[in-house]
Amino acid sequence: FALSTLGPSFAAKVAHFSALAPVTRIANMRSVLFDALAKLDVDTMFRLFGVSRFLAFPPWLKTISGGACGEFPPACEDVIFLACGRGSPPNLNRTRFDVYTYNTPAGTSVRNIAHFGQLFRRGWMRRFDFGSEALNVAHYGQAVPPAYDLQSIERVPMTLFTGSRDALADPTDVAWLRAQLAESGRFAPGDVSWVAVEGYQHLDFTWGVDAKDRIYPTILASLRRAKYRAADVQIQPAFV
């Protein structure tokens, strides 16, 4: 969404966008873990110690953590719930926790985490704040970082998926995103679909045991329609 606000060239490449628990504005985020990271300014502490990567673990540590989670899945499950929300009922395959935790988290930059903290603490959706008016002017030509104007996004058919138990992409924030797109006047009726999934937390859309039944058929149907719409051929939906 952020990239799409910077110009029309990206939107022109997309036939359909299935947004699984999209995180844009995070004013209502309920993640215990990320709330603590943002409020404690963890990114500042990392920069003081010269650390530029966040949760980018070496392979040997991933092997240890993956093995530990394979042996004690409830403990790792609790950490996931603190970050992403607790599904109701829990929808993760515990026998795969060693694989999950070997590959996740994949790591990011400390600056990215700093930006995330800014978005949460200030309740806005703007580009990275460099910390001084002078630096912001040097990068953006203005003292305050420019906002990501969601109403400037070019027309792209999309489906917004939201889970009622998602602590990162809170349904209230996803509803705000939907309203921003609707108010832009760029989208035709039916361009933006809304799928609310009861009981889902943030990772259930990709890791959930029943995602293949509750989520993926809708995505595949949308992609098929987009494919034939691009070819100017009308077909019936593959799934109801």
Residue 227 clears pLDDT 80, i.e. is over it: no
Q: Give the integer Cα–Cα distance in Å for 200 and 84.
A: 10
Res. 21 pLDDT band, cuts 50 70 90: very high
Q: What is the average per-residue pLDDT within 215-237?
A: 73
* pLDDT of res. 240: 34
Reported as a single tens digit per residue, the pLDDT across 27-36 is 888 888 888 8
DSSP of the chain: -TGGGG-HHHHTT-S-EEEES--S--TT---HHHHHHHHTTHHHHHHHTT--EES---HHHHHHHHHHHHH-HHHHHHHHHHHH---SS----GGGHHHHHHHSS--EEHHHHHHHHHHHHH---BSPP-SSHHHHHHHHSSSSPPB--GGGPPP--EEEEEETT-SSS-HHHHHHHHHHHHHTS-S-TTSEEEEEETT--TTHHHH-TTHHHHTHHHHHHHHHHHHHHHTT-----S--
Q: What is the average per-residue pLDDT within 63-77?
A: 73
Q: Give the integer Cα–Cα distance in Å for 134 and 30.
A: 34
* pLDDT of res. 66: 67
Q: Give the integer Cα–Cα distance in Å for 181 and 82.
A: 30
Q: What is the average per-residue pLDDT within 2-24?
A: 85
* pLDDT of res. 225: 85
Kind of pairing between the strands at 108-109 and 53-54: antiparallel
Q: Exposure of 236 by Cβ count < 10 A (0-12 exposed, 13-18 middle, 19+ buried)?
A: exposed
* pLDDT of res. 238: 39
Report the predicted TM-score, pTM, of the whole model to 2 decimal places.
0.81
Buried b (16+ CB within 10 A) or exposed e, 177-193: bbebbeeeeebeeeebe
